[in-house]
Structure 1
Amino acid sequence: MLDLHRGRILREVARLGSMTAAARSLACTQPAVSHHVARLEAEVGTPLVVRHGRGVRLTEAGRVLVEHVEDVLARMDDAEERIAAIAGLRAGRVRVAAFPTAAGGLLPDALARLRDRAPGVSVTLTDAGPPEALGLLRAGDTDVAVVFRHEYLPPGTDARFREVALCVDPLRLLVPAAHPLAAAAAPRLADLAGERWASGCARCRDHLRWACGEAGFVPDIAYATEDHVAVQRLVARGLAVAALPALALALHAEPGVAAPAVPGVGRRRITALVPAGPRPPAVAALLKELTAAAAKIASAGPAPPDGPGAGDGAGR
């Protein structure tokens, strides 16, 4: 039987790419790390790491072993959670990873309701974009990953996970309040072909390029920032136009920005991903509160920006 402690050490070596760095992370010596890896190689009968520059990298056998170690550790974490949950929601923990607008727009209400319902449950929150959150879930380092994907994209998960639908978040086109499109009778996305754009994360920029490509042009993305307040302020100052999700506008609505109803901007689906199989009570309770918070926001709608066209619901 393989030693799980040594498996943890190998996983840390793989994560950091160095025996020395792994030793620092594990608060032990580099010779001790090398010894445990060597013993593990002796147990499996094949090399698990090879020298690579100043560090090491996994062999194919090493990658397979680390994947299985991660699965085992995730199952052990699950066992700990289930044991802690025997007393119901009087105990337990739940770890959440969520992208910024969900962390600001969905999580506070959901976590407050969970605290009132189950004050003994411990919750931690990590700020992570969808790819990072899914990576944390795969590694067993989070219990719930709140992610989004634009509607034309297929789900990026597999049979190890279940997707819980939370809400559809329409994208809103933003222009300066004095922009001609703000008061246009029938505005089109193609009318902005010559504008400079501000956009957010890499995934959002990809969607913007896709939507503009459908409208027949390539957007000139001059400003790339994941700060949705910064995007709105750039628009308000006449420096750019942009497309932001309604959830971001519910968190902050900058004066001097208009949101005309323009078709073709698109929308994104917000979901919570969890491991397949039985859900610990704390995770199930959080999913219930997340669903309620998302329904509340969807029914209220975004706080519209100031200016002409501010009340229009573009992208719904």
Structure 2
Amino acid sequence: MLDLHRGRILREVARLGSMTAAARALSYTQPAVSHHIARLEAEVGTPLVVRYGRGVRLTEAGRILVEHVEDVLGRMADTEERIAAIAGLRAGRVRAAVFPTAAAALLPDALAGLRDRAPGVAVTLVEAEPPQALAALRAGEVDLAVVFSYPGAPPDGGTRLREVALCEDPVRLALPAAHPLAAPAAAGTATLADLADETWASGCERCRGHLLRACEQAGFTPRIAFATDDHIAVQRLVARGLAVTALPGLALALHHESGLALPALPDLGRRRVSALVPAGTRPPAVAALLDELGDAAARTAGAITIEEGGALDGPPPVTT
């Protein structure tokens, strides 16, 4: 009996034309993908892929199998949607992959709203950075992924996914309160280039990439001494005078360390917070959670105000 999970992997190899690219998209190792394809070929008794240049392409048998895998997955999704539609919101489940800041800032309010609206819907959460969340969504392991992206970075999603924008999250400069650029006299005059000689702390890989791009546009490469996904640790490093940093508004809304100054610095831009779901008809439970996430994002955006070191304007909600 053919393994549908391996069929999904073959479909990803076919879509990307490379074992390595499929492994990256699915957060697997390349040997693991090769192993699954080899097992699948053993099950069907014929080659499914052949090397082509630096990648691979499907054999005729591979093309037929991928077509049937997509048909089976489509029928399974349609069956789940029909069952959920019959049950309404009295039953159902949503599997969500959410990046850490949104898991703390948006998801609790969204889940509380969903519980009041549809107490029979079960939600499970996997905390994951955007690349891992997207891989899980494409592999069918979750129903919804909450991600963020920065301008200039490669786009997320694709033709098989639909984006539902939640909010635009401003990135703020965080300085020690005693820093010269935190003085009232410097308000509105600071630029990113003024911080070229500073020691920096940075967050996750995507946030670090955005910081590097912004600093390169300002004419320098930041000296990053501290790299941690823990935004509270980053804030404490800055408050102790050990570094400067750039932090998204959602992170600062969750925790604002005393001893920080937050001068506005438009050079740092914003990040886009979105929910991604498979293209097509949404199961009622998924649609309901998307509605609650949108409401939670709007409320959180309106509540982001940080008095010490200046006000942080909340990210305006984005409607679709």
- If the TM-score is normalised by the length of the shorter chain, which range does it land in? 0.7 to 0.9
Partner of 2:177: 177
Question: How far apart, in 1, do the equivalents of 2:270 and 2:9 lie?
Answer: 39
Partner of 1:228: 231
CA contact (8 A) 1:172 1:314 kept: no
Partner of 2:15: none
- Residue identity opposite 1:250 in structure 2: A
Partner of 1:120: 120
CA contact (8 A) 1:11 1:69 kept: yes
Question: How far apart, in 1, do the equivalents of 2:152 and 2:273 lie?
Answer: 13
Specify whether residues 41 and 181 from structure 1 end up closer, same or farther in structure 2 by C-alpha distance, changes over 3 A only. same
Partner of 1:46: 47
Instruction: Let me know the Cα RMSD of the aligned residues.
Output: 3.1
Question: How far apart, in 2, do the equivalents of 1:68 and 1:40 lie?
Answer: 15
Specify whether residues 176 and 66 from structure 1 end up closer, same or farther in structure 2 by C-alpha distance, changes over 3 A only. farther
Return 5+ residue gaps in structure 1 as ranges.
23-33, 51-57
Q: Alignment partner of 1:260: what SS?
A: coil
* Cα distance, 1:161 vs structure 2: 0.9
Specify whether residues 85 and 143 from structure 1 end up closer, same or farther in structure 2 by C-alpha distance, changes over 3 A only. same
* Cα distance, 1:77 vs structure 2: 4.8
TM-score (normalizing by structure 2): 0.80
CA contact (8 A) 1:232 1:254 kept: yes
- Residue identity opposite 2:205 in structure 1: A
In the alignment, which of 191, 215, 233 is matched to residue 194 of structure 2?
191
TM-score (normalizing by structure 1): 0.81
* Cα distance, 1:147 vs structure 2: 0.6
Question: How far apart, in 2, do the equivalents of 1:300 and 1:10 lie?
Answer: 46
Cα displacement string for residues 101-148 of structure 1 (whole angstroms, at most 9, x for unaligned residues): 000000000001001110000100110111111111110111111011
CA contact (8 A) 1:171 1:245 kept: yes
Specify whether residues 10 and 230 from structure 1 end up closer, same or farther in structure 2 by C-alpha distance, changes over 3 A only. same
Specify whether residues 195 and 11 from structure 1 end up closer, same or farther in structure 2 by C-alpha distance, changes over 3 A only. same
Question: How far apart, in 1, do the equivalents of 2:228 and 2:199 lie?
Answer: 14
Question: How far apart, in 1, do the equivalents of 2:312 and 2:44 lie?
Answer: 63
Question: How far apart, in 2, do the equivalents of 1:298 and 1:119 lie?
Answer: 26
Percent of pairs identical after alignment? 61
Question: How far apart, in 1, do the equivalents of 2:127 and 2:74 lie?
Answer: 20
Specify whether residues 73 and 202 from structure 1 end up closer, same or farther in structure 2 by C-alpha distance, changes over 3 A only. same
**Number of residue equivalences:** 289
Cα displacement string for residues 1-23 of structure 1 (whole angstroms, at most 9, x for unaligned residues): xx44x34467689967569x98x
- Residue identity opposite 1:152 in structure 2: G
* Cα distance, 1:299 vs structure 2: 1.3
Partner of 1:25: none
Specify whether residues 225 and 248 from structure 1 end up closer, same or farther in structure 2 by C-alpha distance, changes over 3 A only. same
Specify whether residues 108 and 204 from structure 1 end up closer, same or farther in structure 2 by C-alpha distance, changes over 3 A only. same
The equivalences for 1:132-211 within 5 A come to: 132-153=132-153, 155-183=155-183, 184-185=186-187, 186-211=189-214
